[in-house]
Amino acid sequence: MFIDLLKETLWSLTGNKVRSSLTMLGIVIGIASVIAMVAIGQGAQSSISASIESIGSNLIIVMPGAQRGGGISAGRGSAETLTMDDVNAIATQVPDVKAVAPEVSRRYQITAGGNNTNTQVVGTLPTYLDVRNVQVDLGSFISTQQVQASSKVAVLGPTARDDLFGTDANPVGQSIRVNGVGFTVIGVTVLKGGAGFTNPDDYVYIPITTDQHYLAGNSFVSDISAAATSPDNIAAAQQEVTDLLLNRHKITDPTQADFNILNQADIISTASSVTGTFTALLASIAGISLLVGGIGIMNMMLTTVTERTREIGLRKAVGVRRIYINLQFLAEAVVLTFLGGFIGIILGWLMSMLASHFLSMTTQVSVSSILLAFGVSAAIGIIFGFYPARRAAALSPIEALRYE
């Protein structure tokens, strides 16, 4: 009997291939689009998180506060309140900070031979490599000796190198001029990709002392990056740095602090809420396609049963019991939805693979999206495949046979 049921189901599905494939198409499209959309959304989220993580690990950034004079604020970051002494104090007195890298940064016109560009020049210490996750591709980074000697040496970001010396050239040993001052190129960093609004690949790194002597002309720093000893210690380190700087700057009221401090976790959570909105948007588009797909399945199933009411009548007239008719239609609906669901999952996965391959988007196929999409279309397919057939099987055979 079970074999009969299987055979009838298969015959019926293969007997009308157009009908079967159209029904399946609705399921396939519904499921594939949900999976692909969610994969793209989640991929975007994780790639943004990854690019934020690439700016450093366990990072705390201290920036100068607003400059105030006579009640007029010049905006946050404009004050020159952070000094090299602050940097040294953080490095030596905060136990939860493992490395500190100050920055003096400003945009300058840079020339090399016949080429020139305008980009960010960052004066810093050798610790910058560690704190900001920078790696050296060619040559070497700034050394402690070069900082102590205020050497006129520069390390180029790969984009700055491309602009000044041509793509993939090796500029080590060549000279460049920054704001009229001559520097020798000693290294090139590894390509990182953009991080938010800044592009570290376009930076030119020089020793902080050199920057202060020859370019900035003072001993203030633009910001201080500090790396906490572990992700769990970020909050503690942030608090310790805040306390230390308040103490050093002789400020008793923390709301009057002349600096701002933020950590990487805050940046990540802000970015995640943005990408979360993006994922929600894609998910709602996917939800709509699931709904449309569902309506497609429903329509197909309903027309199919209407068309097949005469067949149901005939089966009843020749004495097939109602239960077997119900079972057959249920089996047909199950086979269609599962087959369609399977193809849909494969297709959705392929679509996200193609998106990551050709559109260089990061994609992440999630199990929950597969389950949701599959669950919804299977439910629609089975309910609308089975319920009208059940109703038709309950008709008297004469009525079913006469059904137009």
Partner 1 sequence: MIECRDLVKTYINGDVETNALKGVSFEIKEGEFVAIIGPSGSGKSTLMHIIGALDTPTSGKYILDGHEVSSLNDDELSDIRRTKIGFVFQSFNLLPRTTVMRNVMLPLLYSNTSEKEREQRALESLRYAGMDESKKNNLSNQLSGGQMQRVAIARALINNPAIILADEPTGNLDTKTSHIVMKTFQDLNAKGHTIILITHEEEIANFAERVISIRDGVVESDVVKKL
Q: Which residues bind partner 1 (CB under 8 A)?
A: 1, 4-5, 8, 11, 15-16, 310-311, 313-324, 396-398, 401
Q: How far is the CB of 310 from partner 1 (least distance, A)?
A: 7
Q: How far is the CB of 339 from partner 1 (least distance, A)?
A: 20
Angle between helices 2-15 and 17-53 (to 10 degrees): 90
For residues 238 and 232, give the distance between their C-alpha atoms in angstroms, rounded to a whole number: 11
Q: Which is nearer to partner 1, 14 or 252 (CB)?
A: 14
Q: How far is the CB of 346 from partner 1 (least distance, A)?
A: 29
3-state secondary structure of 198: strand
Q: Which is nearer to partner 1, 98 or 315 (CB)?
A: 315
Q: How far is the CB of 317 from partner 1 (least distance, A)?
A: 6
- Of 338, 312, 335, 323, which is closest to residue 399 (Cα–Cα)? 312
Q: How far is the CB of 330 from partner 1 (least distance, A)?
A: 15
Q: How far is the CB of 314 from partner 1 (least distance, A)?
A: 5
Type of residue at 310: R
For residues 87 and 91, give the distance between their C-alpha atoms in angstroms, rounded to a whole number: 6
Is the Cβ–Cβ distance between 341 and 23 less than 8 Å? no
For residues 346 and 367, give the distance between their C-alpha atoms in angstroms, rounded to a whole number: 13
**E strand or H helix that includes residue 124:** strand 115-124
Q: Which is nearer to partner 1, 18 or 359 (CB)?
A: 18
Per DSSP, 232 falls in state G
Is the Cβ–Cβ distance between 160 and 203 less than 8 Å? yes
- Of 56, 103, 68, 60, which is closest to residue 243 (Cα–Cα)? 60
For residues 205 and 382, give the distance between their C-alpha atoms in angstroms, rounded to a whole number: 64
Q: How far is the CB of 18 from partner 1 (least distance, A)?
A: 11
Is the Cβ–Cβ distance between 295 and 30 less than 8 Å? no
Per DSSP, 211 falls in state I
Q: Which is nearer to partner 1, 248 or 322 (CB)?
A: 322
- The upper half-sphere exposure of residue 190, i.e. CA atoms within 13 Å in the direction of its Cβ, equals 10
Q: Which is nearer to partner 1, 213 or 310 (CB)?
A: 310
What does the block give as tokens for 236? 């503690």
Residues 6+ apart with CB under 8 A from 62: 82, 86, 90, 223, 224, 225, 226, 241, 245, 259, 260, 261
Q: How far is the CB of 332 from partner 1 (least distance, A)?
A: 14
Q: How far is the CB of 282 from partner 1 (least distance, A)?
A: 42
Q: Which is nearer to partner 1, 5 or 235 (CB)?
A: 5
Q: Which is nearer to partner 1, 323 or 367 (CB)?
A: 323
Q: Which is nearer to partner 1, 10 or 50 (CB)?
A: 10
For residues 379 and 387, give the distance between their C-alpha atoms in angstroms, rounded to a whole number: 12
Is the Cβ–Cβ distance between 186 and 172 less than 8 Å? yes
Q: Which is nearer to partner 1, 5 or 257 (CB)?
A: 5
